[in-house]
Structure 1
Amino acid sequence: MRRAPDERHQLALFTTGFEELRLSDDVRAAIAASAPVAFSLSGGKDSVSISHATAGLLDQLGHPRDRRFAIHADLGRIEWQSTPATVRAAAESIGAPLIVVRNRSHDMLSRWDRRFELGCRRYEQLLTYHLTGPWSSASNRFCTAEMKTHVILPELLRRFPTERIISVVGLRREESIKRRLTPISKREASCYTRKRGANILTWHPGVDVREDEVYAYCERHALPLPESYDLGTTRHGCAFCVLASINDITIAARAPGNRGVFLHLVDREASSTFSFQPDRWLGDIAPELLPASLAADLARGQAFGAERRELEASLPANLRYIKGWPQRVPSLAEAAAILTARARIMAMHSLTSPYTSAVQIRERIAELHDVQRLKEAA
């Protein structure tokens, strides 16, 4: 994909080693005003190459180099071990000082652990109809929001409280169907605007760059890349991503530097009864790496997971969770079926609940139903 028709009025093309970089009118104006520019670096080939090329474009446009810096969100234990060094070297290659930020409450592993713990507590209190698994997903990418966006953007505002800020992000439309709609630039939501006037303009200069261009550019400029590519992965980010391909996740599982994280995640699969990806258990990727005790725990967790899914599928379909749940109050017979399924699922996880009879189940859902209707009426 090259250029969307509705963008023709606002973009300019620049050759900086790639076939073209995109520049919209709002970004051009901010550059002309010497706005601070933050290069978001993950360590992957796209962020490294596009940041490097964009630095050259900024030089062409007369943007002052002392108004640029690189920023990286450290995700903790789930990072490839080479990522910190790669990011430092990438920042040096574009001539920008590096800022490293982290979520102060948790890393990705502890966030998944905590999500499952809280899900169990909510299930005990009958605040959820189905047990909630630990993992993020394509439809619920809280990992990206909490570990990157909600850490990087506030840091930019803290450093530049009264200025418009340009955040350079190396997304490419070729990467996925969803990313085909990536704009050249966008103003971030109002929550990232201060009364004093600061706001963040996210710029995607490499939206139309092709993958073959990226690899050629990295080689031509001898740009630093992490070991994951040498091992054969197609993308770089978290060592283990819920959206990763079978190729990438298999390589990650067998990389010696990821062994501790791999075993931690398989242990969480076993204890939660939820597979790391919707159609794939991480523990099945490299079973030869599992200690005998963990392999046995995983087999038990997989069996419990299959039973849990059957139990949840047997529940009244029109009582399942949707926005505004619960939509109605179950009959006493339906409440009895819910009680039976819940009792077995709670036994799998050694959970306890104050709702131990069909009458109590029905009364609890009726209570939640009344609360929800009051909210909707307010």
Structure 2
Amino acid sequence: MQTATLFDLPDIQTLQEAPTAAAPAKPKPKRKARTVHASVPLAPWTTVPDELIRDADWVVISSSGGKDSQAMLSYVVRRAKALGMLHKLVVVHADLGRAEWEGTRELAELQARLAGVRRFEVVTSGVDFLDRVEIRHGKLKAKAEAEALERGEDPAEAKVAPAWPSSAARWCTSGEKRGPIRTLYTRLTDELAHLGRPVRILACIGQRAAESDQRAKLAEVEIDRGASNGKRHVTTWRPIHAWSTRKVWREIARSRLPYHPAYDWGNRRLSCVFCVLGCNNDLVNGARRVPGLAAAYARTEVKVGADFKKGLSMAEIIRRAQALEKAEGPAARPPVGTAMAEHVGRAEATKYRNRQVTLYGLAA
């Protein structure tokens, strides 16, 4: 629990620290070209939702605790229940540690339980995100210096690539989510080894085309050849890929499942408190709500010599948050359903809020 306030923290200028010494460069072993097992199909045999669920041995629903994965969970559960196949469903949450909003893992588990899914799994990379950024910086710095020496240049003048993730280098997704979730695939595959054939896993992801041009290009159903092998075949299904934001909120209202309070505070996205893909409003909101974490990001900026987000440093985000705190006072949470009301109307949001109090005893 974060107890510090923005005004308890030192001024951003006091966060300066000595640069981290770069590790000596080590020659990288040559990677062997990865081959995909011959049994892995090139394309899915069907894109019909009910057929996908029937064909799967496991239906794995990735849940960040955010609105999109929550709406997806509700939708997939509804279809699986109609087919009498709830027993196939597994909800997995990739725990991001202090980088994600407090209570997110618990909320994802609550949503799964209330939706009727009996199996909930938590996976983690085991490495703190900010530690990973610093480790990555050390490797990039060592590489840049080694290459400068090979060119006969001064290594101290070598340009080091940014260590933070970006839209073009989303290593955080592969390292913090995709990789750990694949360890779950391995366990699920071992549980059905007696089948004597590749285990069929249907991986459900809550990505929507409306979120970005890049996600709009993704297929609704495709074979995940990187996660597949001779023991398991993984099919990626994006059940709400074509959904609008309004449809997502309507599904949440219909499901009666609680959503994260960060949305009522004004956030558009949820998972990491500070995401490089998040809008500026979300980032400033995070700095107001979790000031201690914002300060930690600012210290890491100094260590790696690069802004958290291109064109917007965490130091600047903190300054904006401090200005709002001074002008408006400590931020208070609006009533439950505030975010929902913008998309489905106040009357529907009021019904939802009343159900939260009645069904789950949650504060209004």
Superposition TM-score tier, normalisation by shorter sequence: 0.5 to 0.7
**Inter-CA distance 35–274: structure 2 relative to 1 (3 Å threshold):** same
User: For residue 220 of structure 1, what is the aligned residue in structure 2?
Assistant: 254
Match of 2:271 in 1: 237
3-state SS in 1 of match to 2:298: helix
Displacement of 1:222 after TM fit? 2.1
> For 1:269-315, what per-residue CA distance to the aligned partner results, in whole angstroms no more than 9, with x for missing partners?
1232211111111111222878xxxxxxxxxxxxxxxxxxxxxxxxx
The total of aligned residue pairs comes to 263
**Structure 2 unaligned spans of 5+:** 1-43, 149-154, 191-197, 323-364
AA of the residue aligned to 1:24: T
- Paired with 2:76 and 2:140, the residues of 1 have a C-alpha distance of 43
Please, what is the CA RMSD of the aligned residues?
A: 2.2
With over 3 angstroms needed to count, the CA separation of the structure-2 counterparts of 1:288 and 1:54, relative to structure 1, is closer
Q: Hey, what's the Cα distance between the residues in 1 that align with 2:279 and 2:216?
A: 19
- 1:138 corresponds to which residue? 167
* Unaligned 5+ runs, structure 1: 1-9, 12-22, 291-378
Which structure is higher in helix share?
1
State the 1:134 CA deviation.
2.2
User: TM-score under structure 2 normalisation?
Assistant: 0.67
Are 2:71 and 1:31 aligned?
no
Q: CA deviation at 1:34?
A: 4.9
| Aligned residue number for residue 184 of structure 2 | 155
Match of 1:48 in 2: 70
**Superposed counterparts of 1:1-378, under 5 Å:** 24-25=47-48, 28-60=50-82, 62-96=83-117, 97-104=119-126, 106-126=127-147, 129-161=158-190, 162-189=198-225, 191-196=226-231, 198-255=232-289, 258-287=290-319
Q: Any idea what SS the aligned residue of 1:166 has?
A: strand
- Percent identity (aligned): 25
* CA-to-aligned-CA distance 1:49-79 (integer Å, 9 cap, x gap): 111111101222x242111110010111101
Q: Which has the higher contact order (CA 8 A, sep 6+)?
A: 2
Q: TM-score, normalised by structure 1?
A: 0.65
Kept after mapping to 1: 8 A contact 2:220/2:239: yes
Q: Deviations 1:5-48 (Å, cap 9, x if unpaired)? A: xxxxx99xxxxxxxxxxx814x5444223521111100000001
Check whether the contact 1:34–1:64 (CA below 8 A) recurs between aligned residues. Answer: no
> For 1:220 and 1:114, how far apart are their aligned partners in 2?
45
Question: Does the 8 A contact of 2:50 with 2:79 survive in 1?
Answer: no
Q: For residues 317-376 of structure 1, give each alpha carbon's deviation from its aligned partner in whole angstroms, at most 9, with x where no partner exists.
A: xxxxxxxxxxxxxxxxxxxxxxxxxxxxxxxxxxxxxxxxxxxxxxxxxxxxxxxxxxxx
Q: 1:246 to 1:68 in 2, by over 3 A?
A: same
Greater CA radius of gyration, 1 or 2? 1
Q: Kindly provide the amino acid, as one letter, of the partner of residue 199 in structure 1.
A: H
